[in-house]
Amino acid sequence: MHSAAQIQRSLIPGQSPSYHNLHYAWRFMPSKKVGGDLFNVVQLDEETIMTYLVDVSGHGISSALLMAGVRAYLRGRVTQAGSVAEMITDVNRLVSADTIETHQFMTLFFLVMEAHTGRITWVRAGQDPALLYSPDEGHFEKLEGQGIPLGVEESWQYQDNTKTVRPGQILVLTTDGVLEAHNEKGKMFGRNRLKEIIRCYAGLGAEGIRLAIIDAVTAFRGEAHQEDDITLVVLKFL
C-alpha cells in the first residue's frame, strides 16, 4: 500500500503550474492510502492548456489501478488530432473495454482553455458541474453538459460545450468528497457552503481560495471520518 501510494503521488502534478494569465491551485486528499481520484494540467502548446478531474468508483488499489490506466489513455489521446468531444468519446471506448467485467465506472470533467481568446471548451461525463464565479456580478454559473460516466456505455458520443471567460472570474472543480463531506451530526457540507467560501475569498489568488475551501471543509467535518477522496482544483483568470 505504501508503494502504491508513492506511485499515485507521482502521477499527479508536483506543484501548481504558473501561467501568465491564469492562477492555478489544487489539493488531493485520499480517504485511504491510495485513492480513485485523478487530476492533471497539461500545456498542449504556448496558448492551450488542458485540465481534467476524474473520480473512479470505489476506493483502494482496484480504483487506483483503473485510475492509472485512464490517465495513460488521456495522455495518449490528447496528443492526437480531434475535438474535445472526440477525445473523450475515444477514451470512453477504451475504458469500457477495461470495465466490462468489473462494472466500474468513473466521472470526468475535462477542460481545454485557449489563453489568447479566453475560450474554454469542456466535456462533463457524469461529474459534478464546475462552478464559474464572477466577482463583479456576484454571480455563480454551473458549467454543465450532458454526458454519462466513462465505462458505462461504449458507444456513447460526448458533446463539446464552449464559453468565453474573462479576467477576474474563478473556476472551481471538485470531486464529491468536498460537497458530500459530513460532520459528526451527519450534516453535509454542500454546494451552498462552497459558494459562500468562494464568494468571501474571491479577492485572493487561486492558492488562497484553495486553502480557504480546504480549511472550511476540514473544520466542518471536525472529528468525523473522511469518507471519500477529496480533490479540489481552483483556477483564477487574470
Residue in the structure block whose three cell numbers are 485523478:
38
Structure confidence at residue 44 (pLDDT)? 82
Whether the model clears a pTM of 0.85, i.e. scores above it, the answer is: yes
Reduced to 3 states (helix: H, G, I; strand: E, B; else coil), residue 6 is helix
Low-confidence stretches of the chain (pLDDT < 70) are 1-18, 32-35, 58-60
Instruction: Return the pLDDT at 31.
Output: 76
Contact 204, 166 (CB under 8 A): no
**The predicted structure's pLDDT at residue 121:** 97
Q: What are phi and psi of 7, to 5 degrees?
A: -65, -45
Alpha-carbon span 139 to 195, nearest angstrom? 10
